[in-house]
Chains A and B, each alone.
Chain A
Amino acid sequence: MAEAVVLKAEDICKSFGSLEVLKGITLEARNHDVISILGSSGSGKSTFLRCLNMLDPPTSGKVSVHGEEIVVKNGHPADMRQVERARQRLGMVFQQFNLWTHRTAIENVMEGPIHVLKQPKAEVKERAEALLVRVGLAERMNMYPSQLSGGQQQRVAIARALCMEPDAILFDEPTSALDPELVGEVLRVMQSLAAEGRTMIVVTHEMSFARDVSTEVVFMHKGKIAEQGPPKEMFGSPKTEVFQKFIADVR
């Protein structure tokens, strides 16, 4: 039997002024899916990700989380409470980490569960500590973001997303802002998340991750999905010319 659909986007369009960035994207993420979204810069892949949790509400189209449609009217969510509920179930990891600089690593991780989900502090703390240990930051829990390397900050950001116990996590180019030698440590954490069956949607430039870790690859080009399928097929026999060229360029 097919897994339950966690996140569904139908015919998403997004314009900034007269600039059409997304021209009708449809995508479905089921439980345990790891979807990699590839595309050259300007293809609209990050914008699409930001449409999913309404950081950039779509101009038209439907986003539903667990079958509940987030109502958008005239480019604005109709019910912010509904959006907030949806965001609580969708973690997000940003390219620039976006850790809160005035809070320590563990405070960053605990902030959401305590103040948004209103969970008891002791319980959250235990979970946060375990998560930071898991991402390899046992020694650095009480440090501030400015005292951490980029790779460490991004791992804190992943722990922050996990601590909300989300149904799916959105990754927006999580390794693009990192020095090359720090990329590996973040990818390893993401790989272990995939291995334990987390639902993930990852906008990335890391071909190896897309090919070896994800269950599905989506290639976006000029605001549309140009090609889509299991990684083996996609990389083994790319169908479209644009994707062929894209793979060749990256290599």
Chain B
Amino acid sequence: MDVFGVFAQFWPELLSGVGITIKLAGLGAIIAGFLAPLLALVRVNGGPAAQVPLRFYISFMRGTPLLAQMFLIYYGSGQFRPFLQDIGLWNFFREPFNCALLAFVMNSTAYQTEILRGGIMGVPHGEIEAGKAVGMSYVMSLRRVVYPHAYRIAWPALGNEIILLIKASALASVVTVFDLMGQTRAIFQKTFDFSVYIWAAVLYLCLTAAFVWIWRRFEHRLSPHIHGKRPSLLGAMTKRETA
């Protein structure tokens, strides 16, 4: 074990891995973050024709291992290669990074949708009525009343979800993406020096700590009037709610 030697020798690889991890988790969270509020609205207000498939989708995403979902997309797409080539999507699915990202987006969308659904349902009915009373349109009341309040409620839980996504992004290494985990495994296979794992652990903890810090900053902006529960390094890393 040569703790500092390993870092001195391999820091460029490790840092590039950190970059890929941030890119994977960041893009995944952001894209899912665009989809979730729309789907959450469907979960709250949608008719059965939209509800039933959406609930199946969410249950499937939450009831199956992310690794299996990733394999389904990455390897599974190979079964439809001629078709995908015909419609010009094969270049997308050929890239392990894209497949991992797609899996993370689909998975995180399911979780974020449920979190936001809780947020929307937590908005007091009176506030929505007050919006109507001043003559707001439906869309406007969503934009000015429902979503701002729902996000304040859901913010800590969304933060937890993104921390989970940062951790889950390590799975991409299994389909040969050289994120932090992928680089770590490659370095270990070269050197058999255990200390590279220690560096990986430290870097992952730094990533989540930095994220928690940023997330809290946003929360202050979002709701200067509430001092509610915030994600903290201690409290944030709760497991996902499955029920």
Direct contact of A and B (CB under 8 A): no
